[in-house]
Chain A
Amino acid sequence: MTAATSTQKIRVVVAKPGLDGHDRGAKIIARALRDAGMEVIYTGLHQTPEQIVETVVQEDADAIGLSILSGAHMTLVPKIVDLLRAQGIDDVVVTVGGTIPADDIPQLKELGVAAVFTPGAPTQAIIDFLVSAVGDREPR
Chain B
Amino acid sequence: MAKTPASDESPEQQWRKAFEATPERDVPFTTLSGTPVEPLYTEADLPQDSAEQIGLPGQYPFTRGVYPSMYRGRLWTMRQFAGFGSAEETNERFHYLLDHGQTGLSTAFDMPSLMGHDSDSPLSLGEVGREGVAVDTVEDMTTLYKGIDLGEVSVSMTINGPAAIMLAYYVVAAERKGVPPQQLAGTIQADILKEYIAQKEWCFPIDPAMRIMGDMIEWCSQQMPRWHPVSISGYHIREAGSTAAQELAFTLKDGLTYVEQAVERGLDVDDFAPRLSFFFNAQIDFFEEIAKYRAARRIWARELKETFGAKNPKSWLMRFHTQTAGVSLTAQQPLNNVVRTAIEALAGVLGGTQSLHTNSYDEALALPTEDAVRLALRTQQIIADETGVASTIDPLGGSYFVEALTDKIEAEAYEYFNKIDELGGMVAAVKANYPQREIADASYELQQEIDSGRRVVVGVNAYTEGDEEQTPLHRSDPAMERGQVDRLNAVRAGRDSAAAESSLVKLREAAAQEGANLMPLLIDCTRTDASEGEIVQALQDVFGKYTESPVF
Task: List A residues at the B interface (Cβ < 8 Å).
Answer: 18-24, 26-28, 30-32, 42, 44-46, 48, 70-72, 74-76, 99, 101-103, 118-120, 122-124
Contacts and interface: CB of A to CB of B under 8 A. Distances in A.
A70 B131 contact: yes
B48 interface: no
A24 B445 CA distance: 12
Contacts of B330: 119-120
B331 A119 contact: yes
A120 B331 contact: yes
B447 A99 contact: no
A119 B127 contact: no
Interface of A is mostly: loop
A23 B127 contact: no
Contacts of A75: 125-127
Contacts of A118: 331, 364-365
Given A27-B440, A28-B447, A72-B126, A122 B550 contact: no
Interface centre among B200, B459, B470 (most CB of A within 10 A): B200
Interface centre among B117, B550, B552 (most CB of A within 10 A): B552
A58 B291 CA distance: 49
Nearest to A23: B200
Nearest to B195: A21
Contact of B443 (A24, A44, A99): A24
Contacts of B440: 27, 31
16 contacts: A20-B131, A21-B199, A23-B240, A26-B552, A28-B443, A28-B552, A44-B549, A45-B550, A70-B111, A72-B127, A74-B126, A75-B127, A99-B366, A101-B366, A102-B365, A119-B331
B552 A19 contact: no
B331 A99 contact: yes
B11 to A, nearest CB: 45
Contact of B365 (A18, A27, A99, A123): A99
Contacts of A32: 444, 447
B429 interface: no
A71 B367 contact: yes
Contacts of A122: 450-451, 461
A90 B331 CA distance: 31
Contact of B131 (A24, A45, A71): A71
User: Which range holds the interface residue count of chain B?
Assistant: 35 or more
Interface string B113-154: 011010000111111001100000000000000000000000
B131 A123 contact: no
B126 A24 contact: no
B365 A101 contact: yes
B246 interface: no
Interface centre among B117, B122, B241, B550 (most CB of A within 10 A): B550
Contacts of A19: 111-112, 114-115, 117, 123-124, 127, 201
A102 B502 CA distance: 50
A30 B112 CA distance: 26
Nearest to A18: B127
Contacts of B218: none
A72 B366 CA distance: 11
Contacts of B103: none
Contact of A18 (B126, B332, B450): B126
A67 B447 CA distance: 17
Interface in B443-484: 443-444, 447-448, 450-451, 457, 459-461, 470, 473, 476
Contact of B451 (A22, A72, A99, A123): A123
Nearest to B199: A21
B239 interface: yes
Contacts of A27: 440, 443-444, 550, 552
A33 B367 CA distance: 30
B185 interface: no
Given A19-B117, A101-B473, 15 more contacts: A19-B124, A19-B127, A21-B201, A27-B444, A32-B447, A45-B550, A70-B127, A71-B130, A72-B126, A72-B130, A75-B127, A76-B126, A102-B470, A103-B473, A119-B331
B476 A30 contact: no
B126 A28 contact: no
A24 B552 contact: no
Interface string B187-226: 0000000000001110000000000000000000000000
B212 to A, nearest CB: 19
Interface string B541-552: 000000111101
A105 to B, nearest CB: 12
Contacts of B125: 75
B327 interface: yes
Contact of B444 (A23, A28, A42, A70): A28
A33 B340 CA distance: 30
Contacts of A123: 447-448, 451
Contacts of A18: 111, 126-127
Contacts of B470: 102
A103 B473 CA distance: 10
Contacts of A99: 331, 364-366
Contacts of B126: 18, 72, 74-76
Interface string B354-380: 000000000011110000000000000
Contact of A44 (B117, B201, B550): B550
Contacts of B115: 19, 46
Given A75-B125, A101-B365, A44 B331 contact: no
Nearest to B364: A119
Contacts of B240: 23-24
Nearest to B367: A71
